[in-house]
Every structure is written in C-alpha cells, then in structure tokens.
Homo-oligomer: A and B are copies of this chain.
Amino acid sequence: MPVLLFIGLEDRGKMERHWQQDLEELKRRLLWMGSLSERAVHQAVHAVLDSNQDLAKAVHAEENAINEMQIEIDERVQKLFALQAPMARDLRFLLAVSRINGDLERIGDQAVSIAHAALGILRHPPVMEYIDLPRMTELAEGMVRDSLDAVVRGDQALADSVLRRDDEVDRLRDQLFREMLTYMMENSAVVFTAFEVILVVKNLERIGDHATNIAEDVIYFVAGRDVRHPDIDRR
C-alpha cells in the first residue's frame, strides 16, 4: 500500500514564503542576542578600564537576557527543522545558527567572568597602567561585531577578515601576560590585581575565539566550506 502525499502548488508557494519569513525572523533574533552579548562585553571591560562598578553589575542583567535568548533560538531552530526538511543552504544555515547561538551565549559567560574580575580589581587601589588592554578589547569587540555583520549579510570576505585578526589577539594576550608577570615579580603588593587582569585577558582571548567560530560558520553556510582546522588533510 503506497503512502500518498498531496500538496497543491499554491500551498507550496505559501509554505515557501512562510519559511523564508521564519528564517529572517530567526536571523533577527540571533542578531538581537548578538547585540546583547556585545554590550555585555563592552560594559564588563569598561568596568575595568573606567573603574566603574555599576557597569560590572549591569552585566548580570544582560546575562539573563542572553540566556533567555539562547533557549528561544534553540527552540526556533528545532521547530523549523520539524516543520520542513531544509536542504542545501537552508540546512547549513540552521546548523550554523545552532552553533552560533552557543558561541554568543559563551561570549555572555565571558563577559560575566570579566565583570567578576572587575569587581575584584576595583576593591584594590589602582596600581598599574593597562597599556595593551584597551587595544585588545577593541580588537575582540570588533571581531564579535564584524562576525555578526557577516552573519546578516552572508559576507564571506568580512568573515575572512575576522579570521585573520585572531593572531593579533593572541599576540596581545602574550604581551599582556608578560607585562602582568613583570609587575608581579617586581612588587608582591600587585599580585592580586595582576592575577585578575590575567583572567580578563584570558576571557578576551576566548571572546576572540568565539568570534572566529562564528566567522567560520558564516563561510560554512554561505559557501558550504568547512574552514576549521586548515592544517587537516581533507580527503
């Protein structure tokens, strides 16, 4: 006994329009979540750079909103998969959104860690200049912003430019680590503050890594190419 499935062409056209609207709405929600994550990072780092406790405290409210968005977006992705069997670029886009969602939530987590470190740093009198911290912050924030713009526009070239910036983040991380170690060896009174700055630097490095993941996912859904681990021989 055959299974019969009748779908009129007119209905198919309507379904297709709905589907594209659903994908657009998903993209908008992802961007909204991205803007929350960006803001959380900005507030957290500027709590340190501007010695502003209120900014550090504001990050926790952002985190709740980010976590809610993560759950909502994963539910939307699951519903879209259940609604229609997506193919080709739509399939890759949904899988990419699922991964990007995880990266954005972790950027939020990193912001919370930075805010936590900021409160530790601000409990002590300022003892040092954070020469390269503003530069590293700008760089990591720019990577997150551009990786999200690349998602919206499906812009491979912009995604590529994000990937190229990751080495510079690692270079600034190493430089900041050296500076903090020097401070610690010269003066044991700054050990605690320098330790907290080291944690902030670690978090910024991870934020750059997440932006890199997002950029790789853009290239995956736009071009169908997996550019992670370029050193691997793909048979």
Contact stretch, chosen from A19-27, A41-49, A73-81, A134-142: A73-81
Do A67 and B3 have beta carbons less than 8 Å apart?
no
In chain B, what residue has the closest Cβ to A66? B229
A173 smallest CB distance to B (angstroms)? 11
Q: Chain B residues near A98 (CB, 8 Å)? A: 95, 98-99
Q: Which residues from chain B contact A78 at a C-beta distance below 8 Å?
A: 91-92, 95
Question: Please, how many angstroms separate the alpha-carbon atoms of A91 and B94 in the complex?
Answer: 13
A8: Cβ under 8 A from any B Cβ: yes
Chain B residues with CB under 8 Å of A6's CB are: 2-4
The size of the chain A interface, using a CB distance under 8 A, is 49
- Copies of this chain: 2
Contact status B181-A192, CB under 8 Å = yes
List 10 extra interface pairs beyond A75-B226, A99-B99, A184-B191, CB under 8 A. A2-B8, A3-B9, A4-B6, A67-B228, A74-B226, A82-B85, A85-B85, A99-B102, A177-B195, A184-B184
| Minimum-distance CB pairs A-B, first 8 | A85-B85, A67-B229, A5-B5, A2-B6, A185-B188, A184-B191, A185-B191, A3-B7
